[in-house]
Structure 1
């Protein structure tokens, strides 16, 4: 959905383009040492995409269900400095959620937290790193381009005690209306809505993207680290307080107004090349 090639194809064809001609697996590998992370996001056409009931291959990388675990085999080349990025991620859902949530009034855009909390095993040989921890899996689906209906959104997810986690989702629509989701997931994946706490502003990203979160009244979030700093997108790690509990959250901010500009899309191929075949 963030492919500049897909956007350009829609522009050439009156808004219609084949999504299967614009597929990619995005891998972002971060390091505790700044400047040593890896990024890969090579777009490929329909001939390199193979879909099955329990598996999806895009180029040399593949994800598949193996029993109760989602296995992702990664074999990519990083950008902007080429290097091999090869390894495996195995995600064991603690529970599976079957409920999706509408992000717009018409229900054209939906978000589903497939595995609100999971156990994750990471094994890479290029580079040689491995670890285990907790993770999360979700999906977004829509019947229209995001920029047609949204101006901005932010999302965050933090692990709580006793196998729970909290997720916040804030959207600002093109018509100026807003919506907020505040969900507490228990160890079985059941979601309970709670009153969205007051908004709290974080510092803007290096590209000037607004970063806004929510936290319990009388508390303040702390921005620990920025992971991604793009003209239209920022991914960050922050400490915050929700439901009376201090937690560390992954946070994302997205500006669709920025993404829809010609200058922003012209920059994206430097981070998202397209394979020639």
Structure 2
């Protein structure tokens, strides 16, 4: 689940000149495995409603209700499995942090890990899509296109015996690198941690290169594919950090590929545009 105001991977936002983020908003939903579906409908400003406790985009919404975030989904998935996606996801943070990480030196891009450790409850209107498990909630903010400031990045979040570890590694366009390793305890307290260097592992079906932190002598490996696009990968990855074998969600993003204008019409097939609320 991702809520976008200024949908950074929307071709419609790119073609609009990015002048009005509110006019390209969406709530992105992806489910994985057999029968998995993907919805990322780009909607206009008339579909957006915001308050201190809620984000509503068309028929879907995210709302803080006391100690939990309730996400109401009512979307239509993209090809090849076109169908209605309805239901509720509830996220209950173990703790909410007060930290954020600038991704560029001028603060044009910021990562805000609200709840590195959470519990989730999923109840979707489809057979087999009701379960509870381990969750996570964060946000990113930016004032410039990602491809303007970065050429490549990877991100990973791995539950550990003490809480969670997050790794943000990126190559910036100015020739500098981001190599952040942050540990979170069960109370949401954050600190920079010593972590091994990034190590490459098997490329995706689109030959997208991937890497994540791993101890010497250990090769990371994909446990489960999630999303696989020409410029982006999301998967469950197993690695070893400071002697502890962990599994978590990993992302790799090639922004040189994303900047290629040939990709934008391809993306439009997966990201339909609805100007109004519906």
Q: CA deviation at 1:256?
A: 1.1
Rounded to whole Å, the distance in 1 between the matches of 2:267 and 2:233 is: 14
Q: CA deviation at 1:127?
A: 4.8
Check whether the contact 1:168–1:180 (CA below 8 A) recurs between aligned residues. yes
TM, length-normalised to structure 2: 0.93
Rounded to whole Å, the distance in 1 between the matches of 2:84 and 2:128 is: 11
Unaligned 5+ segments in structure 1 are 11-15
Query: Which residue does the alignment assign to 2:87?
Result: 87
Check whether the contact 2:155–2:169 (CA below 8 A) recurs between aligned residues. yes
Check whether the contact 2:202–2:221 (CA below 8 A) recurs between aligned residues. no
Query: Which residue does the alignment assign to 2:30?
Result: 28
Query: Which residue does the alignment assign to 2:13?
Result: 6
Query: Which residue does the alignment assign to 1:161?
Result: 161
Query: Which residue does the alignment assign to 1:13?
Result: none
Rounded to whole Å, the distance in 2 between the matches of 1:68 and 1:179 is: 33
Rounded to whole Å, the distance in 2 between the matches of 1:38 and 1:2 is: 18
Unaligned 5+ segments in structure 2 are 1-7
Q: Deviations over 1:131-184 (max 9, x none)?
A: 00011011000111111100111000111124x011111010112221111111
Residue-pair matches, total: 268
Q: Give the 5 Å matches for 1:125-136.
A: 125-127=125-127, 129-136=129-136
Q: Give the 5 Å matches for 1:31-180.
A: 31=33, 33=34, 36-80=35-79, 81-127=81-127, 129-162=129-162, 164-180=163-179
Rounded to whole Å, the distance in 2 between the matches of 1:128 and 1:238 is: 23
Check whether the contact 1:119–1:132 (CA below 8 A) recurs between aligned residues. yes
Moved over 6 A (4+): none
TM, length-normalised to structure 1: 0.94
Query: Superposition RMSD on alpha carbons, in Å?
Result: 1.2
